[in-house]
């Protein structure tokens, strides 16, 4: 597998290419996560819920839940974090929170109070097994799409109760292949996959048929993708320190950010979410903060 350092170098080269219009954020708000003993953890993955609550996974292996006004209303630890921390989270319509427990090769479901409900999956390459599950999204029926990496890169589809429905993709650089698929979005029967190290977004039907790339566009290590209620894709680029806005037909509408710690800047941003008010949330990982902002219409 191409190393992350080599991929980052290619991503930075891609970032030098001309982009879309520069966007100016409105209502820029940042906050840090609560300490964990002497350490200050940082966010990795984000998801918004039906009441615009925000669920966060952090580098301490915690799940944190904020209300629509960014007030912390709950937090709990994963079942075990000795091997590694989770990445990938989604909130179901009934309030249940589903987490990709990445280094334990399983999917864990909690209720909104943090009570453990169930696991499914184990380490392996067969149906319903995982090698580093890292991203998750849901469709209109709340079927789950889960991407994984580690040499058996693919997307698997399950019911929200964990019944296996299908899979697609494989490891590589070719047509319909992935190198570290990291984020997912669903829209109108299509699944959009952030293929991080290959610096592209791939499109499949939700039955697994490859349809092409979103673009033609090249990204700087796209780590997550979220579709807002305005029908625009928001793509966070770990290598470029920026957010790209792309239409459903693959047109680059604008970009926000560069590597830094100021307003309108990000440093190795990892996760992304958009709520019903079209507010964008970014896990600005190296800056140890969550950023919330809006963009001009």
Segments making up each domain of the chain, as ranges: 4-294
- pLDDT, residue 92, reads 98
Residues 144 and 159 sit within 8 Å (Cβ to Cβ): yes
Bridge pairing between strands 177-178 and 181-187: unpaired
- Token pair belonging to 170: 């494989």
Residues 243 and 258 sit within 8 Å (Cβ to Cβ): no
CA distance to 12, 198, 216, 229, 248, per residue, from 252 (Å): 18, 18, 9, 17, 10
Please give the angle made by the CA atoms of 268, 16 and 3, to the nearest 5 degrees: 50
- pLDDT, residue 297, reads 74
What is the separation of C-alpha 223 from the centre of its chain, rounded to a whole number of angstroms? 6
Cα–Cα nearest to 120, from 135, 130, 132, 134: 130
Q: pLDDT above 70 covers what percent of the chain? A: 94
Its pTM stands at 0.94
Give the model confidence (pLDDT) of 209-229 as tens digits.
999 999 999 999 999 999 999
Residue 4 has pLDDT above 60, yes or no: no
Residues 207 and 226 sit within 8 Å (Cβ to Cβ): no
Give the model confidence (pLDDT) of 98-119 as tens digits.
999 999 999 999 999 999 999 9
For the segment 276-287, the average pLDDT, to the nearest whole number, is 98
The C-alpha torsion from 19 through 25 and 29 to 30, rounded to 10°, is 20
Domain 4-294, architecture per CATH? 6 Propeller (2.120)
Name beta bridge partners: 97: 91, 110
User: What average pLDDT does the chain have?
Assistant: 94
Residues 121 and 129 sit within 8 Å (Cβ to Cβ): yes
Bridge pairing between strands 170-171 and 177-178: parallel
User: Rounded CA gap, 273 and 88, in Å?
Assistant: 11
């Amino acid at each position: 597998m191409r190393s992350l350092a080599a991929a980052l170098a290619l991503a930075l080269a891609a970032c030098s290419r001309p982009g879309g219009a520069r966007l100016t954020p409105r209502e820029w708000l940042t906050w840090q996560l609560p300490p964990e003993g002497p350490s200050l953890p940082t966010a990795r993955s984000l998801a918004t819920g039906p009441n615009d609550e925000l669920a966060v996974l952090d580098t301490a292996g915690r799940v944190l839940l904020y209300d629509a006004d960014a007030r912390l209303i709950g937090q709990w630890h994963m079942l075990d974090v000795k091997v590694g921390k989770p990445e990938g989270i989604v909130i179901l319509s009934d309030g249940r929170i589903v987490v990709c427990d990445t280094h334990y090769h399983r999917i864990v479901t909690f209720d909104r109070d943090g009570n453990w409900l169930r696991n499914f999956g184990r380490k392996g390459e067969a149906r319903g097994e995982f090698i580093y599950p890292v991203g998750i999204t849901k469709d209109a029926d709340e079927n789950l799409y889960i991407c994984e990496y580690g040499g058996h890169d693919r997307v698997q589809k399950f019911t929200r109760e964990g019944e296996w429905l299908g899979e697609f993709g494989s490891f590589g650089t070719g047509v319909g292949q992935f190198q570290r698929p990291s984020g997912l979005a669903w829209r109108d029967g299509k699944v959009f996959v952030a293929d991080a190290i290959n610096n592209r977004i791939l499109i499949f039907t939700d039955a697994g048929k490859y349809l092409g790339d979103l673009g033609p566009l090249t990204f700087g290590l796209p780590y997550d993708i979220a579709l807002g209620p305005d029908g625009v894709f928001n793509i966070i680029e770990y290598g470029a320190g920026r957010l790209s806005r792309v239409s459903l037909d693959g047109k680059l509408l604008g970009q926000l950010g560069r590597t830094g710690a100021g307003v309108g800047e990000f440093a190795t941003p990892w996760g992304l979410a958009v709520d019903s008010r079209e507010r964008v949330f970014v896990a600005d990982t190296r800056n140890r903060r969550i950023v919330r902002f809006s963009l001009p219409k």
